[in-house]
């Protein structure tokens, strides 16, 4: 028994192959993507966005996302300059500005940037004291961002921002810092009290000099003292007597 195939069946396989090749050859890149195209292993050009035609076997295209990426730097063990052990994590914002360099100059640019961020974070923070880490976080963020941006420039990557999220200190060190802060507050209170006593003593000395040089001022002071005593409910009133008057009486 013989079966007869339609006349068009001989064209089915070529048509299927042609459709498959066409589907493989056509690529659509959105606005935020670029395609780095290689021709027989050599860099040809960067294409996109829009419709891209790739010749199968001969050409190969690698997609590169140009949007800003957010990378959470894992907690890093850092020993500060004053030998305090802390755990620090941060967040990194970067994007690809040159797709050609990002593909050719470094393998897995995302992983490379991640590892560089971790080592730079430890290196920069290790050069500062714990007090500087806690008080100068904005400056540290700027320093880390600048170093990363310079080192990743050859990879076609722009580091937009670095933010230190947490600086974790062990409980022993937290108690020590609390004691130090309390001692610092007590010291400042004593200094302020001493400065007040010193200023009061200076004013009293100046007042004594003025009263000694102006006898009439001394007399006014006596009258003021008598007025204050008379206004109080007291059964004993003390009358100040000038020293020069006592000298005259004794003479």
Other beta carbons within 10 Å of 125: 24
What is the dihedral angle through the alpha carbons of 121, 123, 126, 130, rounded to the nearest 10 degrees?
Answer: -20
Summary mean pLDDT of the chain = 81
Given this model, what pLDDT does residue 25 score? 83
Q: Which residue has the tokens 């290689």?
A: 38
Q: What is the pTM of this model?
A: 0.64
Q: Where are the beta strands (DSSP E) in 66-145?
A: 69-79, 85-96
- Cα separation, 102 vs 154, in Å, equals 8
pLDDT of residue 45: 92
What is the predicted pLDDT for the residue at 27? 87
As a whole number of angstroms, the distance between CA 36 and CA 157 comes to 15
Quick: pLDDT tens for 59-72: 999 999 999 999 99
pLDDT at 22 over 50: yes
SS3 label, residue 93? strand
Question: What token pair was written down for 172?
Answer: 């022993």
* Residue 11 DSSP symbol: G
CB 103 within 8 A of CB 64: yes
Pick the range with the lowest mean pLDDT from 26-35, 157-166, 216-225.
216-225
pLDDT at 135 over 50: yes
d(CA 177, CA 172): 9
What is the pLDDT confidence band of residue 33, given thresholds at 50, 70 and 90? very high
Check pLDDT > 60 for residue 90: yes
Q: How many CA atoms does the CB half-sphere of 244 hold within 13 Å? A: 4
Instruction: Supply the DSSP symbol for 84.
Output: -
pLDDT at 114 over 60: yes
User: What pLDDT does 231 receive?
Assistant: 60
pLDDT digits (tens, 9 = 90+) for 164-223: 988 888 777 666 666 777 787 888 888 888 888 888 888 777 776 776 676 666 666 666
Tokens of 99: 């797709």
């Amino acid at each position: 028994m013989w079966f007869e195939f339609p006349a068009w069946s001989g064209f089915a396989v070529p048509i299927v192959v042609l459709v498959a090749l066409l589907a493989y050859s056509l690529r659509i890149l959105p606005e935020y993507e670029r395609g780095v195209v290689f021709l027989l292993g050599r860099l040809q050009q960067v294409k996109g966005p829009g419709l891209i035609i790739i010749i199968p076997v001969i050409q190969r295209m690698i997609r590169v996302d140009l949007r800003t990426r957010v990378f959470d730097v894992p907690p890093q063990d850092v020993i500060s300059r004053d030998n305090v052990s802390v755990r620090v994590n941060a967040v990194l914002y970067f994007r690809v500005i040159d797709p050609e360099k990002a593909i050719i100059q470094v393998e897995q640019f995302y992983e490379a940037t991640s590892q560089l961020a971790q080592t730079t974070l430890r290196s920069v923070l290790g050069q500062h004291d714990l007090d500087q880490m806690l008080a100068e976080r904005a400056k540290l963020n700027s320093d880390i961002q600048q170093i990363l941006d310079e080192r990743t420039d050859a990879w076609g990557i722009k580091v937009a921002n670095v933010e230190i999220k947490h600086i974790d200190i062990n409980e022993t060190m937290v108690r020590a810092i609390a004691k130090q802060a309390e001692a610092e507050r007590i010291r400042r209170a004593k200094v302020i009290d001493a400065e007040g006593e010193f200023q009061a003593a200076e004013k009293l000395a100046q007042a004594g000099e003025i009263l000694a040089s102006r006898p009439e001022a001394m007399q006014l002071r006596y009258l003021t003292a008598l007025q204050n005593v008379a206004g109080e409910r007291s059964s004993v009133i003390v009358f100040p007597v000038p020293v020069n008057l006592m000298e005259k009486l004794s003479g």
